[in-house]
């Protein structure tokens, strides 16, 4: 949630920046009206309180001098109190209206973010590695996976419907090996391992910025009391909801390896084959909680941590800064890591690393108390939160299978994964 106080002081500039994120003219007009209504309500209530102070002094002065005038002043005092009560109710309603509206408004983009309506305006920051030049026609992972009997899409669909898969044998072991490598790298970089709940309440989804914007994208229980997590970012951010952290405890860094569940409601017809866009997938998620003045430096660090997985796997990839129109709802700045997939002849996203600044912290009321000289007590300040895939394990599986395929249909196991697979060097047809 963006800061409404900033809106009050500089509405035009902020709404202009929000429009680069897809906030349309109707939403902009509604937002302006809500801010103006709240400001008027505050001013009206404050004006009436000042009148009350003046009237109270008048009653006290007239009490012994003019009983009749004193009585009239007391009646005016009662009327003023009733009007103040109504004004405070109006202010409360204006607050609620603005709060509900702000829950639907995305985060402000950082100044360094390229402006644009969609992914065509993304900016490639760097490209690492060169796609392999195969001497044969590279196959897609779904063909390789089924021929090697490590993926079974038919049985996944039979059990659960479309966009589900069964990993078999060495396929399951390869998935686990990838997760183990990512967790080891995260641990070496100071992230604390967490196993969070997979079911969360509505307030947890709202605090992380998932609700109300993405309510239709989650899987909910029948009574809607719980949702399956779309990403472990949700429970990790909520670990410190409604808390004031000690300055010396920052930055806090967490890593979790969990299944994630998404309806993919907006992806009809896209990536219907393979592992790219499933309803259930595994992901290693990194979350950082930092001081505000350190968060963009932390974003670079977190991105490097995610990149190191691809470097260890020796996969060609690139890093792109997403445009204002392509970023996620809660992000102020995002880097996408896009790995080369020879079976598709394209770079595809395998990780997103985002700085959400104080957007989630304001919703979830996560603050810290900055250190002050002389032992003085300082006012609690909102933290900044960051998140990134340490990678989406299924997409890393795709990248390994397609980049390390051989002409005979077997898969060379990257050297970084062999320790987790008992020294196995090749995945071949049984």
Catalytic sites, residue numbers? 262, 277, 349, 352, 395
Task: Return phi, psi of residue 271, to 5°.
Answer: 50, 50
- The dihedrals phi and psi of 139, each to the nearest 5 degrees, come to -95, 160
CB-count burial class (<10 Å; 0-12, 13-18, 19+) for 319: buried
Question: Helices 11-19 and 25-62 meet at what angle, rounded to 10?
Answer: 160
Q: Compute the C-alpha angle 372/374/379, nearest 5°.
A: 35
The token pair that represents 270 in the structure block: 């896209």
Calpha distance 409→419 (Å, rounded): 23
Of 40, 44, 18, give the one whose Cα is nearest residue 29. Answer: 18
Answer whether 419's CB lies under 8 Å from 312's CB: no
Neighbouring-strand partners of residue 347: 340
Cα–Cα distance for residue pair 333/412, rounded to 1 Å: 36
Determine the Cα–Cα distance for residues 246 and 369; give it in Å rounded to an integer.
Answer: 6
CA distance 413 to 340: 17
Q: Report the alpha-carbon distance of residue 384 to residue 361 in Å, rounded.
A: 6
**From the CB of residue 138, how many other CB atoms can be counted at a distance below 10 Å?**
17
Closest CA to 224 of 197, 205, 209, 207: 205
- The C-alpha atoms of residue 401 and residue 333 are separated, in whole angstroms, by 31
Query: 33: which 2 tokens?
Result: 């009206």
């Amino acid at each position: 949630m963006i800061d409404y106080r900033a809106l009050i002081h500089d509405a035009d500039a902020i709404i202009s920046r929000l429009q680069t994120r897809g906030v349309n003219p109707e939403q902009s007009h509604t937002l302006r009206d809500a801010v103006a209504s709240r400001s008027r309500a505050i001013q009206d209530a404050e004006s009436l309180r000042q009148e009350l102070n003046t009237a109270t002094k008048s009653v006290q002065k007239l009490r012994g001098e003019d009983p009749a005038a004193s009585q009239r002043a007391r009646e005016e005092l009662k009327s003023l109190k009733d009007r103040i009560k109504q004004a405070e109710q109006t202010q409360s309603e204006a607050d609620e209206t603005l709060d509900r509206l702000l829950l639907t408004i995305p985060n402000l983009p950082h100044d360094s973010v390229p402006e644009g309506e969609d992914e065509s305006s993304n900016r490639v920051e760097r490209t690492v590695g060169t796609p392999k030049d195969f001497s044969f026609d590279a196959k897609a992972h779904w063909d390789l996976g089924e021929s090697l009997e490590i993926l079974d899409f038919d049985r996944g669909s039979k059990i659960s419907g479309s966009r589900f898969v069964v990993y078999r044998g060495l396929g399951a072991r390869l998935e686990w090996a990838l997760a183990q490598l990512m967790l080891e790298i995260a641990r070496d970089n100071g992230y604390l391992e967490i196993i969070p709940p997979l079911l969360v309440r509505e307030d947890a989804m709202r605090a992380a910025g998932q609700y109300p914007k993405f309510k239709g994208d989650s899987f909910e229980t029948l009574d809607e009391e719980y949702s399956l997590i779309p990403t472990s970012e949700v429970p990790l951010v909520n670990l410190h909801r409604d808390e004031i952290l000690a300055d010396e405890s920052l930055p806090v860094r967490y890593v979790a390896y969990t299944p994630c569940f998404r309806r993919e409601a907006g992806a009809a017809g896209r990536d219907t084959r393979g592992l790219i866009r499933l309803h259930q997938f595994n992901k290693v998620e990194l979350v950082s909680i930092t001081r505000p003045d350190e968060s963009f430096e932390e974003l670079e660090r977190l991105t490097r941590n995610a990149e190191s997985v691809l470097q260890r796997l020796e996969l060609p990839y690139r890093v792109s800064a997403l445009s204002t129109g392509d970023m996620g709802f809660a992000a102020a700045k995002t880097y996408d890591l896009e790995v080369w997939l020879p079976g598709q002849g394209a770079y595809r996203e395998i990780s997103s690393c985002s700085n959400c600044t104080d957007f989630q912290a304001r919703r979830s009321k996560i603050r810290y108390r900055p250190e002050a000289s002389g032992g003085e007590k300082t006012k609690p300040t909102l933290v900044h939160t960051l998140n990134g895939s340490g990678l989406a394990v299924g997409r890393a599986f795709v990248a390994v299978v397609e980049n390390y395929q051989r002409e005979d249909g077997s898969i060379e196991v990257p050297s970084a994964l062999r320790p987790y697979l008992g020294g196995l060097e090749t995945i071949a047809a049984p």
